[in-house]
Amino acid sequence: MTLEDQYVDALLREIDARGPRGDIETLYLGGGTPSRTSLQHLARIASRFDPATEFTLEANPEDITRDAIAVWREMGVDRLSIGVQSFHDAELREIGRIHDANAARDAVKLAVDSGMRTNLDLILGLPRQSIESFRASLDEAIALGAGHLSLYMLDLDEKTPLQVQVARGRTTLPEEDDVARLYVEAVERLGNAGLAQYEISNFARVGQESQHNLRYWRREPYLGFGIGAHSFVDERRFANTRDIHRYIADPTHAEDFTESLSDDEKRHELLFLRLRQTSGIHYDRLVELCGQEAVEWTERGLREGWLRRSDSRVGFTPAGFLLSNDYISQLF
């Protein structure tokens, strides 16, 4: 048996042992590159679930073909999340992507034309990305007609190849002020194109918001299966090991992280998750959670322009989202 065969067998054992017994609202196959998994293995995994509202598959552009889409649809997949990142070959090479810009265009077109709900990812702040090149990528993303777009800021993790290249001066990143300006500009342009912002990094046409991701941001329970998978059940967070051999040996006892949040930690988390959404938080609830500090914080944010208030709710402006962690930390 190949390592993939062993892993999928272990994954199915975990699902059968601790999987949900009631209705499943959403299913998301991601956390890596599930589109590279054999169609036979994907079918075996999908057969264990019957999601009621949304079945999402993460896919690389080079894996998307008409035949693959047809098979995925037969499995029940009704939403594709495509890691485009950029429509410029030079920028894709800088981050080590296998696909080129043409492959990304073709993949998104195939997905959209198939009628599959389609999300594409873009990254802002890529090495050697210019103001003009980002605007061009955004233009293409809008023109392709996807119903959902995720726009992420580049995050340089420690000791990754890209972080090392930047640290050694072998590649350069855009100026932070330019990145901030482009983010605010993108929010406006996407909104004008019918892709309304509903979370700090996510934009969707009406009815095409990611129901699965909304579960995370609303602090609703979810189960994760496989190596490194996280779960949240009964106010407890836990995660599986990232050691594939340990997982394969005993997938039903592979948990290597768990925490039960204190009341104060729950309060902090609730604020962070509510305020990362454009719907924000009810002002009375904010005051209930943070007392007089919330009153002063809200007044300061409205005065300085990083908060907005709509009816009884408070939320960040696009510019406020850029420093939202810093602003939220002022409440504690």
DSSP labels, 114-126: TT-EEEEEEEES-
117-141 pLDDT per residue, tens: 999 999 999 988 999 999 999 999 9
Q: Mind listing the domains of the chain with CATH numbers? A: 20-216 (3.20.20.70), 265-329 (1.10.10)
Is residue 97 classed as helix, strand or coil in its secondary structure?
Answer: coil
User: CA distances (Å), 134 to each of 124, 174, 296, in order?
Assistant: 7, 11, 37
- State pLDDT tens for residues 68-99: 999 999 999 999 999 999 999 999 998 888 89
Buried/exposed code over 72-101 (b: 16+ C-beta within 10 A; e: otherwise): beebebbbbbbbbbbbbeebbebeebebeb
Q: Is the dihedral of CA 130, 132, 135, 137 positive or negative?
A: negative
CB 71 within 8 A of CB 96: no
- What single DSSP character describes residue 316? E
Residue type, 234: D
- Which residues are registered as beta bridge partners of 123? 152
For residue 85 the two structure tokens come to 């990142």
Query: What does the pLDDT profile of the chain (332 residues) look like in tens digits?
Result: 899 999 999 999 999 998 776 678 999 998 777 888 888 999 999 999 988 889 999 999 999 999 999 999 999 999 999 999 999 999 999 888 889 999 999 999 999 999 999 999 999 999 889 999 999 999 999 999 999 999 999 876 644 666 656 556 666 777 889 999 999 999 999 999 999 999 999 999 999 999 999 999 999 999 999 999 999 999 899 999 999 999 999 999 999 999 998 999 999 999 999 999 999 999 999 999 999 999 999 999 999 999 999 889 999 999 999 999 999 999 88
- How does DSSP assign 210-235, residue by residue? -HHHHHHHTT--B---STT-EEEETT
Pairing type for strands 26-29 and 54-59 reads parallel
In three-state secondary structure terms, 250 is coil
pTM of the model: 0.93
In the chain, which ranges are continuous DSSP H helix? Answer: 3-18, 39-46, 66-75, 89-94, 101-113, 131-144, 161-167, 176-192, 211-217, 244-249, 263-275, 283-290, 292-304, 318-322, 324-329
